Amino acid sequence: MTFRWYGASDPVPLAHIRQIPGIDGIVSAVYDVPVGEVWPLDNIRALKALIESHDLKFEVAESVPVHEDIKLGRPTRDRLIGNFAQTLRNLSQCGLKVVCYNFMPVFDWTRTALELKLDDGSTTLGFDADLVNRIDPEQGINLPGWDTSYKPEDLKALLAEYRGVGEDELWANLLYFLKGVIPAAEEAGIKLALHPDDPPRPIFGLPRIVKNVRDLRRVLAVSDTPANGLTLCSGSLGADLDNDIVSMVREFAGQGRIHFAHIRNLKVDEKGNFHETAHKSDCGSLDIGAIVAAYHTAGYDGYFRSDHGRMIWGETGKPGYGLYDRALGAVYINGLWEGLDNARREAER
Ligand SMILES: [Mn+2]
């Protein structure tokens, strides 16, 4: 069981994470290197030393970002793919085992509310499909927590670049990327773990290609190697009611292709509106108990983490990434797992 941590600037201290029962690993990244550049050994070593000084392991990197030029298929991509491969080698040299990445154009996860108030007084992340559909990205995107690393004119130019990139082109660029990095990952003993799109549908006219079971099968078919695997994020995929997370876990964990399990619950409606909830099954639309049981039945021995949590007990900080609710989620998942272990032992008696 791991916990995501955003480095020294994260308001959640490692010392507090260490106190969550059952957590033994940190998931993090080198944040002070520009996207596309190699993560230097020294930076990885320093991060690892800091994490280990709190008696926690650092075996999963999330995420190594994929440069937009790779997603766009620009001529500069070969150098950037080479850099990504070198980062994998450096991570391996420092004892990392799994590298999470995603292939979402321009934007990582998208929400329309970061402090949506729930009936119990907690706040959470929400997504209003109509609101997003009404936004014309050409006029600028004004959403809470929006990636401000893009200046409006740069964003406009980048969106213009994507005008010729539909799902087929983006897929071809993912294929090119995978062919470039899988051999390096295999050699380094790194398991790549592609995170699905969040939410799993096109937004702002940008294509999305990792959004359902067909897409996941297509990615895995590129190369049948542990180096080419998945991060299965229940909350991301679960924002589409047609996605059956339990059957995905059965299929892909059964094949040993899931290397990293993100567990999150959310309440979603037919129109695609959703908000994130506490992890417990009856708090949201997903049967987390059944999802965790599917991992257990498949003999899953990879990494877990409780994904986003609500803000509770007056906590402030990075929306989705507070200490308390994610800790509750982790303990809940560990409790489910212990119950499944016990049930198996009883059955074998
Ligand atoms: Mn996730």
31 is known as an active-site residue? no
Partners of 272 in the beta sheet?
A: none
Q: What is the pLDDT of residue 243?
A: 97
Q: What is the pLDDT of residue 148?
A: 58
CA 195, 20, 334, 121 dihedral sign is negative
94 is known as an active-site residue? no
Q: Which residue has the higher pLDDT, 263 or 146?
A: 263
Q: What is the pLDDT of residue 74?
A: 94
**Mean pLDDT within 60-70:** 96
Question: Which CATH number is 2-348's, of 3.40.50.1970, 3.40.50.300, 3.20.20.150, 1.10.287.70?
Answer: 3.20.20.150
For 284-318, b/e burial (b = at least 16 CB within 10 A) is: bebbbbebbbbbbebebebbbbbbbbbbbeebeee
Q: Which of 233, 275, 300, 332 is catalytic?
A: 233
Q: Is the pLDDT of residue 306 over 90?
A: yes
67 is known as an active-site residue? no
- 125 C-alpha to ligand 1 centroid (Å): 13
- Picking from 28-42, 153-167, 306-320, which range would have the lowest pLDDT averaged per residue? 153-167
- 147 C-alpha to ligand 1 centroid (Å): 17
Reported as a pLDDT band with limits 50, 70 and 90, residue 164 is confident
Q: What is the pLDDT of residue 145?
A: 66
Domain locations along the chain: 2-348
Cβ 37 vs Cβ 83: under 8 Å: yes
Q: What is the pLDDT of residue 109?
A: 82
| Residue carrying structure tokens 């507090």 | 16
pLDDT in tens, 277-290: 999 999 999 999 99
**Mean pLDDT within 265-274:** 94
308 is known as an active-site residue? yes
For residues 104 and 84, what is the distance between their CA atoms, to the nearest angstrom?
16
pLDDT in tens, 88-142: 999 999 999 999 999 999 888 889 999 999 999 999 999 999 988 888 877 777 7
Q: Is 254 helix (H, G, I), strand (E, B) or coil?
A: helix
Q: Which of 69, 308, 324, 325 is catalytic?
A: 308
Q: Which of 262, 275, 279, 296 is catalytic?
A: 262
Q: Could you say which DSSP state residue 45 is in?
A: H
Question: What's the token pair of residue 173?
Answer: 């660029």
| pTM above threshold 0.75 | yes
100 is known as an active-site residue? no
Q: Which of 128, 197, 215, 307 is catalytic?
A: 307
pLDDT in tens, 6-25: 998 999 999 999 999 999 99
321 is known as an active-site residue? yes
- 26 C-alpha to ligand 1 centroid (Å): 15
Q: Is the pLDDT of residue 337 over 90?
A: yes
